Structure 1
Amino acid sequence: MQQYDLIVIGSGPAGRRAAIQAAKLEKTVLVIERGGHVGGVSVHTGTIPSKTLRETVLNLTGWRERGFYGRSYRVKQQISAEDLRRRLLITLDHEVDVLEHQFNRNRVQQLRGMAKFRDANTLEVTKDDGEVVHVRGTSILLAVGTRPYRPAHIDFDGQTILDSDDILHIKDVPRSMIVIGAGVIGIEYATIFSALDTVVTVVEPRDGMLDFIDKEIVEDFTYQLRDRNMKLIFGQTAEKVEKDEGGKVRVTLKSGRVLGAEMVLFAAGRVGATDTLNLEACGLVADSRGRLKVNPETFQTDVPNIYAAGDVVGFPSLASTSMEQGRIAARHAVRAPAQDPPQYFPYGIYAVPEISTCGLTEEEVRQRGIPYECGIAHFRETSRGHIMGLESGMLKMIFSLKTRRLLGVHIVGEGATELVHIGQAVLNLKGTVEYFVENTFNYPTLAEAYKIAGLDAWNRMGELPAKKASA
C-alpha cells in the first residue's frame, strides 16, 4: 500500500493549491479526482463556465455598447446555445491543460476514481476501470466541493427544469425563465440571461437578496435589474414546479400565485459532496447540508490528521478564498509554518452588472458603534465612464472619523471585481482617506472613481489630523 505525506481528495481551487504547496515543500502528494478531468466544480460546472458564459453573452449581445447605440443594439442578432457553448469549450480545455501541466511540473501524482475512508489514514479508491486500490496518507485534505441542492418535490428533467449544472447544456436560449433562489448563483445566471433579452423572474423566500452586501449597493443593483424589466418576487416560496401540456413550466407560489415560463432554474443552495466518503470510518460527521466543521485558522477537522477546505466548509465559498484555505491547510498538514490570511478579502459577484466588496458594510460599521463617513463616486462622473458609455455604476468607501482609516469598499458596475483590489490593498495596509486624496490615478480610468469618492468623504470629514488610535 503506497504511503504519501498528503493525500488530497478533489482537484478544485482548494485541492490543487494545497497539492502544489505541499509538493513545493518536497512532500509526496497524491490527488484523487473522481471527474474525468482535473479542475473540479470550479473548472467544469462552476466558476469558470459561468464567468465564460457571462463574457460571451456580453460580447455577442453588444451589452457594453448599448449606452451609446441604444437597448436594441446587438453584435449578433440571433444568438444560439451553440454560440454560448463554443467559447466555453475552448476555455475549459485551456484550464485543464494548465492544471495538468502544473501537477506534472511539481511532481504531484494523480489517481482517477471514487475515494472513501477505511480509517483515518487509509482510503479505498475505486478507479474508473473498476479496479480497487488502497492508499495511505499521513494527512488527508478533503476538497470535494459541493453540488446543487435538489429538493425531492421538484422533478428535474435537465431541459426545462434545471439546476446550475444543467444550465450549461441547454439546447436553446429560452424566451422566458423563472429563477428560484436569489443567492449569488441564482442572481448571476438570472442577470446573464436577462442580458440575452430573456424575460426573467426571480423568486426568493427571503425579504431581499445578497444580505451580506452593503445595503446601498444592493438597492442600486436592484434598481438596475428592475429598470431592465426583470421581475423580483421576494418573500415568496415556490411550492410546486410542474410542466403543463404545452411544454411550459408552471411555478405555484405559497401565496397561490402561478408563474409560467419556458424554463425554470432552481438555484436555492448547494450541498457538500461528502456522502460517498464513508465519513463514519474516520470519525467525521457532516451537517445536514453535507458540510464539514473546521478550525478556521488551520482548516483542521475534529480528526487531527484530516483537513477540509473550499466550498465543503461553507461560507464564503469563493474560488479565491478556497485557494488560500487549501494552501494554509497543506502547510499545517505537513508541519510547515503558515501565516494568518489577511483580515480582509474581496468578494466578487459576476452578475450583470458586477458587484464586488471588501471590508465592513455600512450596517456592520453602525453595529460596532464606529463613527464614520462615506464617500461615493458614480461611474458617470469619470471621463472613462463617458468614453465607455456607462449610465450606471457606483463606488462607495467607508472611513472611520476617529482614525480616518478605510473600513470598507463596495462597488457595483462594470469592472467592479477588478477595481476592488485597490481598496483591498489600502484596507489591509491600514490606509486613510488621505491616500485617495493625495495620490494620482491614471486618467481617464474607472479607478479615478477612488479619488472622487475619497474627495467626497474628505470634504464631509473636514481636514482633521489623522490619529493613531485603532478604529
Structure 2
Amino acid sequence: MSNHYDLIIIGSGPAGRAAAIQAGKLKRRVLVVDRKDRLGGVSVHTGTIPSKTLRETVLNLSGWRERSFYGRSYRVKDKIDAGDLKARLHMTLDHEVDVIEHQFNRNHVEDLNGVASFTGPNEIEVAVDGGEVQRLTADKFLICTGTKTFRPDWVPFNGKTVLDSDEFLEMGEIPRSLIVVGAGVIGVEYASMFATLDVRVTLIEPRESFLDFIDRFTIDEFTHEIRENGLDLRLGSPIAKVEDMGEHVEVSLENGRHVRAEMLLFAAGRMGATARLNLDAVGIETDHRGRISVDRKTYQTSVPHIYAAGDVIGHPSLASTSLQQGRVAACHALDTPTLPESPWFPYGIYSVPEISTCGMSEEEVQERGIPYEIGVGRFRETSRGHIMGLEHGFVKMLVSLKTRRLLGVQIVGEGATELIHIAQAVLNLKGTVDYFVENTFNYPTLAEAYRIAGLDAFNRMPIPEEYKVKGKAKGKSKG
C-alpha cells in the first residue's frame, strides 16, 4: 500500500487514541505511530491507569474503607507486598491494551511501532526495530507525544531507592518509609496512597502552597485529613541536597532540617516529549518545558496542517480533556464539523481522600467581584455516609447572589470524582441553586450532600419575590 495518509498521529495516548478512532469513523486513511511496544502511551503504561489501579488495590487490600468500623489495625490482607500491588495492575493494563487494539482494528486504524521525526512539512521518518527507517507522508499531522518525567542532574536516580514516577511502579518491595518530592497531582496521589499502607511518608514541597488551582478551603480540609492519616507534609522547604546513602536516602533542606527514608520518589514536574520530533524541520517552537503552543479551539500549531493535543500542549494535562482535544483536532484536520468542547470540565485527583472540582474556586469568584454565597454538605450528614462509615468528606457549593446560578463545586472524599459530574451538568446547563432544592435525590446516597449544600446556601440567600407566598397576611396563617 501507499505510504501516504490523510492523517498521521504521533502518539497513542488518550488524545492520539481518540483522534485515530474519530478519523477511522470518518473513513479516512490514518496511521498511529508510537515508540512504545504496546499501544496506549504513558496514560496506560505508567500514568493515569496504573496510578488509579494502584490506588484501588491499596484501598481494597488495606481495608481502609472499613477502618472506621473495625479499627485502624484492620486489614483485608495482613502482609501486603509489591507483588500484591502489581498483580491487579498488570491485569488492568493488559485489558486496556486489548481494548485499544480492538478499537483500532474495528475502525481500520493502522499503527506502527517506532520513533517518529519530521523531515519536511509533509513527511516523517520512523525508526523501527532493527534499524530500519520508513518514510511516510500525510496531508495532516497530529502530535500527541505527551510528557516525560523531569529528571534534574542533582537527584541521584538509581532505579531502586531513588525513582521517578515512571520507575516507581516497578519497585521491588514496599518501603517502610518514603520521601516524595513535589506536591503536584502525581506526588500527592502517591504520597497519600502509601500513607494508607501505613508507610511513613514525608511529602516535600518547596513552595508555601500546593495544588494552587484548587479552592483554598478545600485544600485546607484536605491537608488536615492527610495529616490525620499520618502523612508528614513539609511546605516551604526548598531542597539543598539529595544523597543516596546506600541503606537510606537523605534529603537536606535549606531550612537546616534533614529527612531520611528507605526510598525517594521525585515527582516535581514533567516535560513535553518533543525532543526527538525534529520540530525545527517544520518551524514549530516549544517552550522551556518542551510544550507546543496551539489554537485552543482547533488545536492547530503555528504550522496550520500540523496539530497537537493532550499533555504535550500543557494545561490542563488531564486524560479526560486529552480525549476531547484529540477528537476535536481530528475533526478540524479532516474538515468535519463537530460539537465544540463544553466550557466547564471536572478535575479529578485520585488521592486518599479523592478531590474533584468543577467551575470556579472561591478565590476566582472573589477576583471577579461576584457577590456569592457558600453551601456545604458533609458526608457524615447523610445516611449513606453513616452506612459507609465515613467520618470526613464534603460538597462545597458556590452560588451567585445576583443570578442564583451555580458558580463552582468542590468535593473531597469517597466517590468525589464520580459525584462531580452532577455539578458539571448543572454548570454547563447554567442551572441555579434551586435545582438542588427542588429535586429529589436517591436515598440513601452520597449525592444527598448536594441537596444539603444547596439548602445550606439557599437558606442564607434572599428569597426572590416570585417565591414568596401571596394572599396571606403577614404574621398570620389560616387554620
| CA displacement at 1:131 relative to structure 2 | 1.3
Write the letter of the residue equivalent to 1:428. Answer: N
2:209: which partner in 1? Answer: 208
Give the root-mean-square deviation of aligned CA atoms. 1.1
Question: TM-score by structure 1 length?
Answer: 0.98
Q: 1 CA distance for matches of 2:337 and 2:413?
A: 39
Q: 2 CA distance for matches of 1:277 and 1:172?
A: 36
CA contact (8 A) 1:62 1:73 kept: yes
Q: 1 CA distance for matches of 2:129 and 2:463?
A: 67
| CA displacement at 1:23 relative to structure 2 | 1.3
Instruction: Say which SS state the counterpart of residue 460 (structure 1) adopts.
Output: coil
2:432: which partner in 1? Answer: 432
CA contact (8 A) 2:180 2:202 kept: yes
Residue deviations 1:350-379 (CA, integer Å, cap 9, x gap)? 000000000000110010011110110010
1:338: which partner in 2? Answer: 338
| CA displacement at 1:239 relative to structure 2 | 2.1
1:326: which partner in 2? Answer: 326
Residue deviations 1:166-206 (CA, integer Å, cap 9, x gap)? 11000110110110000000000000000010001011011
Q: How does 1:2-17 map to 2 (within 5 A)?
A: 2-17=3-18
Regions of 4+ moved over 2 Å? none
CA contact (8 A) 1:385 1:446 kept: yes
CA contact (8 A) 1:3 1:135 kept: yes
1:461: which partner in 2? Answer: 461
1:227: which partner in 2? Answer: 228
2:115: which partner in 1? Answer: 114
Question: TM-score by structure 2 length?
Answer: 0.96
Write the letter of the residue equivalent to 2:230. Answer: N
Q: 2 CA distance for matches of 1:464 and 1:262?
A: 61
| CA displacement at 1:317 relative to structure 2 | 0.5
CA contact (8 A) 1:180 1:238 kept: no
CA contact (8 A) 1:403 1:466 kept: no
Q: 2 CA distance for matches of 1:465 and 1:42?
A: 52
1:92: which partner in 2? Answer: 93
Q: 2 CA distance for matches of 1:184 and 1:53?
A: 15
CA contact (8 A) 1:113 1:128 kept: yes
Q: How does 1:166-245 map to 2 (within 5 A)?
A: 166-245=167-246
| CA displacement at 1:339 relative to structure 2 | 2.7
1:158: which partner in 2? Answer: 159
Q: 2 CA distance for matches of 1:403 and 1:139?
A: 45
Q: 2 CA distance for matches of 1:168 and 1:465?
A: 59
Residue deviations 1:355-407 (CA, integer Å, cap 9, x gap)? 00000001100100111101100100000000000000010011111110101
CA contact (8 A) 2:196 2:229 kept: no
1:347: which partner in 2? Answer: 347
2:299: which partner in 1? Answer: 299
Residue deviations 1:321-350 (CA, integer Å, cap 9, x gap)? 000010111111111113321110000000
| CA displacement at 1:229 relative to structure 2 | 2.2
| CA displacement at 1:155 relative to structure 2 | 1.2
CA contact (8 A) 2:156 2:244 kept: no
Greater C-alpha Rg: 2
Instruction: Say which SS state the counterpart of residue 210 (structure 2) adopts.
Output: coil
* 2:41 is the counterpart of 1:47: no
CA contact (8 A) 2:46 2:169 kept: yes
Instruction: Say which SS state the counterpart of residue 131 (structure 2) adopts.
Output: coil
Residue deviations 1:115-169 (CA, integer Å, cap 9, x gap)? 0000121000011232111111111000000011000111101110000001100
Q: 2 CA distance for matches of 1:428 and 1:67?
A: 37
CA contact (8 A) 1:404 1:466 kept: no
* 2:71 is the counterpart of 1:79: no
Q: 1 CA distance for matches of 2:194 and 2:140?
A: 43
| CA displacement at 1:465 relative to structure 2 | 5.0
| CA displacement at 1:286 relative to structure 2 | 1.2
Instruction: Say which SS state the counterpart of residue 285 (structure 1) adopts.
Output: coil
CA distance 1:114–1:443, change in 2 (3 Å): same
Q: 1 CA distance for matches of 2:277 and 2:424?
A: 37
* 2:402 is the counterpart of 1:402: yes
Instruction: Say which SS state the counterpart of residue 345 (structure 1) adopts.
Output: coil
Q: 1 CA distance for matches of 2:466 and 2:245?
A: 66
| CA displacement at 1:238 relative to structure 2 | 1.6
Q: Which runs of 5+ in 1 are unaligned?
A: none
Q: 2 CA distance for matches of 1:320 and 1:22?
A: 19
Write the letter of the residue equivalent to 1:371. Answer: P
Instruction: Say which SS state the counterpart of residue 446 (structure 1) adopts.
Output: coil
1:22: which partner in 2? Answer: 23
Residue deviations 1:92-125 (CA, integer Å, cap 9, x gap)? 0000000000000000011111100001210000
Q: 2 CA distance for matches of 1:465 and 1:320?
A: 42
Write the letter of the residue equivalent to 1:211. Answer: D
* 2:57 is the counterpart of 1:56: yes
CA distance 1:61–1:222, change in 2 (3 Å): same
Residue deviations 1:60-84 (CA, integer Å, cap 9, x gap)? 0000001111111111110000000
Write the letter of the residue equivalent to 2:409. Answer: V
* 2:312 is the counterpart of 1:312: yes
1:384: which partner in 2? Answer: 384
